[in-house]
Structure 1
Amino acid sequence: MVVRWHTKAPLEAVKAEYWQMLEAAVAQGLNDWLLDIRRRDKVPAELSTWVNSTFYPEAVAQMAPRRLRMAVLNSPFMTQLYTTDPVQQREVAYALDRARPFDIALFEDEGKAMEWLRPVQER
């Protein structure tokens, strides 16, 4: 499933979009997601905390027994923010921890993100 955010939106609207995305993924049995956030100029710390504490656990539960896999396509600016902002550093480290019941990886190149999402037997 490919989801692209093209405009800025208030936090509550973005949360609603995440729930809509999950509903569509569950209905279609899509557990491999490309999340394109390249047009965002920032991700509020509150959103990062919410996806880690609320959205991802619910998504994992609803997608079970399939493992949720997310390739996050971001801009160089966002990559820098993830490494320089202390709150984002903490949230990204939490999400990327291999102990999580989902897989997530960050990319600046869409081709590499799509390759990562391909099933192992097709690589």
Structure 2
Amino acid sequence: MPVPGSATCSITYRPDLKLLIGRWLHDAPVATLQADYAALLAAAQEHDTGRWLLDVRRRDQLDPALGQWTTSTFYPEAGARMAPQHLRIAVLCSPARLAVYAASARQQEYLNYGLAAERPYQLRLFGDEAQAMAWLNS
């Protein structure tokens, strides 16, 4: 079931899985991506689902400001708004993106923060969509 999105991100709610899927079609400026995340949260609230698959494989720019904002500001806020559900976010990444994460100390800092068990949300990175879906459904 498609949800109104933007020119950069398609948002689909899967009622059979109670899952929200956001797929970025290409990169965009940080402000546009932040608006996409806000649209995802609105759709999640509308459909009452705290399980998200975020496909960022086509976004090849890794702006550290966006990484800091998503892990420190947006995901905690989204987790609070989705309560009492626990927000689970599977991020589907390209091999190139995973390599950048591994090579950048700054990106590793944001990633380690976001992946930490004490966060009010669960975040995991995947290179395989089937594995991401299995984790979301576990």
Per-residue Cα deviation, 1:49-91 (whole angstroms, up to 9, x for no partner): 0112210121011000100000000000111111110110000
Q: 1:18-97, aligned counterparts within 5 Å?
A: 18-97=37-116
Instruction: Tell me, yes or no, if the aligned pair for 2:80 and 2:120 is still in contact at 8 Å.
Output: no
Q: CA deviation at 1:30?
A: 1.0
2:133 aligns with one of 110, 114, 120: 114
Q: TM-score normalized by structure 2?
A: 0.84
Query: Separation in 1 of the partners of 2:25 and 2:124?
Result: 21
Q: Gaps spanning 5+ residues in structure 2: where?
A: 1-19
Higher strand share: 2
Q: Gaps spanning 5+ residues in structure 1: where?
A: none
Q: TM-score normalized by structure 1?
A: 0.94
Query: Separation in 1 of the partners of 2:77 and 2:120?
Result: 11
Query: Separation in 1 of the partners of 2:27 and 2:100?
Result: 17
Higher helix share: 1
State the aligned residue count.
119
Query: Separation in 2 of the partners of 1:36 and 1:95?
Result: 17
Q: CA deviation at 1:11?
A: 0.8
Q: CA deviation at 1:38?
A: 0.4
Supply the AA of the counterpart residue of 2:132.
A
Runs of 4+ in 1 over 2 A off after TM superposition: none
Identify the structure with bigger relative contact order (alpha carbons < 8 Å, sequence gap 6+): 1
Per-residue Cα deviation, 1:3-36 (whole angstroms, up to 9, x for no partner): 1001121110100110011011011101000000
